[in-house]
Chain A
Amino acid sequence: GAVVSQHPSRVICKSGTSVKIECRSLDFQATTMFWYRQFPKKSLMLMATSNEGSKATYEQGVEKDKFLINHASLTLSTLTVTSAHPEDSSFYICSARDGQGREKLFFGSGTQLSVL
């Protein structure tokens, strides 16, 4: 199946700093990528839909100025958590849709963010 690479897998940062998470589709072009966050023992919550070459679409309640998404190419989307606070600590997961008619969503391995 298609491969989605996400980096870093784990990051620890100080409160007030910004953290960038990268999501790459390695063997296919992804015009659409999705970003999720997940708290311990909870389900995945969709944060935003990232469209190549255009602005991301954010789910209700997600602060777009807090979570900056850039999808500048067909294989790369980035999520930047700006001015991180401890409550932003979470597991962030990206995914990309396989547009080759198979309509599957492939996921990265996730990034565990811990804000001190």
Chain B
Amino acid sequence: DAKTTQPTSMDCAEGRAANLPCNHSTISGNEYVYWYRQIHSQGPQYIIHGLKNNETNEMASLIITEDRKSSTLILPHATLRDTAVYYCIVRVIGTGNQFYFGTGTSLTVIP
């Protein structure tokens, strides 16, 4: 049970910000939100994760709503190489706790 809902696909113009939403309305207090992406025929790549505060790193920003029922991954300046499937995952941190992938959002960056 992936516990997350994402749009199936999205397009974004190159150089513009890509905003990928994720709904996790049943998230528990001890579950973190993770984002991974998978470029065709490769293993998934870690992007970012957070609990309740907004997070930013060199790849992206993660905005989590105050009630934690949804979040948005922001790629500030999308490039063609950002075309991938983006997965939003909720998970309890701890040894052995699994990562279950949902269906993800297929993002296409358009020149």
Inter-subunit contact B101/A93 (CB<8 Å): no
Inter-subunit contact B49/A110 (CB<8 Å): no
Inter-subunit contact A34/B104 (CB<8 Å): no
Nearest A residue (CB) for B47? A104
Q: Which residues of B approach A to under 8 Å, CB–CB? A: 2, 32, 34, 36, 38, 41-46, 49, 87, 93, 95-96, 98-104
Q: Which of B2, B32, B43, B100 contacts A109 (CB 8 A)?
A: B43
Residues of A within 8 A of B102 (CB): 43
Residues of B within 8 A of A103 (CB): 32, 49, 93
Q: Which residues of A approach B to under 8 Å, CB–CB? A: 1, 4, 6, 31-32, 34, 36, 43-46, 49, 51, 57, 91, 93, 95, 97, 99, 103-110, 112
Inter-subunit contact A49/B98 (CB<8 Å): yes
Residues of B within 8 A of A110 (CB): 41-43
Tell me whether A46 and B96 are in contact in the complex, defined as CB-CB below 8 angstroms, given that A107-B43, A110-B42, A112-B41 are known contacts. no
Inter-subunit contact A104/B42 (CB<8 Å): no
Residues of B within 8 A of A91 (CB): 41
Inter-subunit contact B99/A109 (CB<8 Å): no
A-B contact sample (12 more), CB < 8 A, given A46-B101, A49-B96, A103-B49: A32-B96, A34-B98, A44-B87, A57-B96, A91-B41, A93-B44, A95-B43, A95-B99, A104-B49, A105-B99, A106-B46, A107-B45
Residues of A within 8 A of B46 (CB): 1, 104-106
List the 4 closest A-B pairs by CB distance, nearest first.
A107-B43, A44-B101, A43-B101, A103-B93
Question: What are 21 of the A-B contact pairs (CB < 8 Å)?
Answer: A1-B46, A4-B43, A32-B95, A36-B101, A43-B2, A43-B87, A44-B38, A44-B44, A44-B87, A46-B98, A46-B99, A46-B100, A49-B96, A51-B96, A93-B44, A105-B99, A106-B46, A107-B43, A108-B43, A109-B43, A110-B42
